[in-house]
Amino acid sequence: MDQFIPPVKDMIFALREVVGKGDLNSNSGFEDFDRDFLETVYESASEITSEIIAPTNKDGDRLGVSIDDGKVTVPNGYAEAYDAYVDGGWSTLSCNPEYGGQGMPASISMPVNEMVMGANFSWAHLVLLTNSAIRAVDAHANDELKDLYLEKLISGKFSGTMNLTEPQAGSDLSVMNTVAEPNGDSYKITGQKIFITWGEHDLSENIIHLVLARLPDAPEGVKGISLFLVPKIRLNADGALAERNTLKAVSVEHKLGIHGCATCVMSFEEAEGFLIGEPNQGLACMFTMMNDARIGVACESVAIAERAYQQAVNYAKDRIQGRTQTSDSRVSIINHPDVRRMLLSMKSLIEVMRVLVYENTFECDLAESKPEHTKRADLLTPITKAWCSELCQDITSIALQVHGGMGYVEETGAAQHFRDARITTIYEGTTGIQANDLIGRKFISDNGSAVNDLLDQIETEVEDSDIESKIKAEVSQAIEQARNVSKFILENIQNDPNLAGSSSYSFLMMMGYLVGGWIAVRNITAAKNSLKETDDKEFYNAKIISSNFYIEQFMPLVRSFGSSAMQGSKSMMSMPDDQF
């Protein structure tokens, strides 16, 4: 049965005992969020996500969305789920209190986001992309725009989108064609955008599009891009809805997965828009939204993986098939060693992925008052986004394998998670884009300083940890490999101009599995500390087992990817084009 039960206990363990190191409340901005508070909030969120949002998931996939003359029709239950989410105040958690938000740190609301994504991945994009739009408007818009739009966005009366991609441009925003002509206090926006998530619907009163466009005198390339707020429905000076703006959804994309999400082609015909931030600084403004969304995609990856895992576990416990070496009668397949390998692989990966998402978000929170945390947050973001989304592909594929033939047919629902997950490595910059960002902007540009700081911290924590000697040795060897790879790249980058690009993917995956090992050590340490003070021995012992399993089974991949990263670009770049 494809039901979803948010893993609240796992979330609180990850946030309070691992990320917060058992003292989360001592950090600035976190003083009011003790365990009782978190349990109350997360149990309430668990109720709405499992009982109201999750039941819309299957029909959302099966029926999908449709469009007729620019009007998008959504699956049954979507409107009720949206109203319940908004009425419960869930849209306001980490938003600015000056405009109706609750002002929680983003890392406190991230577990709620994970629950929403796990409940219905397609539906969740509507509310969570709005959160990213809110951040961009709050950070860069003038007071007049904030006063008109921000409170309504935060309350959920309005929803938000991001409009970047055009048919001819793809990820290369330097060649976009959308133009913005000055028109008094506003601008006329004309152009077409594709892949616009929830670009049209009637679940909220209005849709606020954040659109990248060029001013007439803009310089060439990405330095000539500006950001504009373009409402679906114009507002009067008092904030009341006025007439429809001159924009529409031309079509909805027919996709491999997320069928219940309205991914639109949007057409703007001299639509009224308002400049956000300074002229020609649109990309910098949009990256406020983009970086937030990248960590959000990593959280999506955890959420889909978690739901696929839950379904695989339930199936493995119920499905009776075969005998084992130690049983005379037929057993449920969870008793077979290879099935246990698959399930424990899923579990151990999800547990480190979850902590990584929360840790990255926590560093972003700390950076708001302590700029020294910005460097770590920036370093982790491409690793978090790309590594978690790549692992999500593996985990949802394993879930199909656990089901066997029943996973390949649509009735069980396991195939949906596999299809839905495929977008995560593409959203908000592909794995290749994240890998290039990591090796170029976050590693080579500072001569390895940020990476070395991270490796130093991992090494110190591992040396001081109370873990088995063989486990400690495995992690230590991985750290040494990462140092060797870092040195190799920095020493050879001038002689091999293609080295960064050819090694970027392996470098990113190496860092991902290494950071995962660091987190596994932290999980073990936190679980051992909690075992001294709790009667819930099984939960914490399970954390130790799954973390040991991760280090035993996945840390060797650090050496493998590291070796690949040091092979240089000769073989990759010497193959003639016509031989591919």
Amino acid sitting at position 257: G
Helices and strands (H and E) in the chain: how many: 20, 11
How does strand 233-235 pair with strand 241-244? antiparallel
Is residue 235 within a helix (H) or strand (E), and if so which, with residue range? strand 233-235
Task: Name the β-bridge partners of 196.
Answer: 264
Contact 380, 443 (CB under 8 A): no
The two structure tokens encoding residue 181: 């002509």
With CA atoms as reference, report the closest residue to 417 among 140, 39, 142, 121. 121
Contact 550, 520 (CB under 8 A): yes
Q: Tell me the CA distances in angstroms from 206 to 63, 82, 390, 413, one per residue in order.
A: 24, 14, 35, 33
CA dihedral 271, 276, 280, 286 (to 10 degrees): -100
Q: Which residues are catalytic?
A: 428
Is residue 187 within a helix (H) or strand (E), and if so which, with residue range? strand 186-197
Contact 30, 108 (CB under 8 A): yes
Alpha helices in 335-373 (DSSP H): 337-367
Q: What angle do CA 450, 455, 461 make, to 5 degrees?
A: 130
Nearby residues of 343 by Cβ (< 8 Å), 6 or more positions away = 309, 312, 313, 316, 334, 402
Q: Tell me the CA distances in angstroms from 415 to 29, 57, 193, 343, 422, one per residue in order.
A: 41, 13, 30, 17, 11
Amino acid sitting at position 381: T
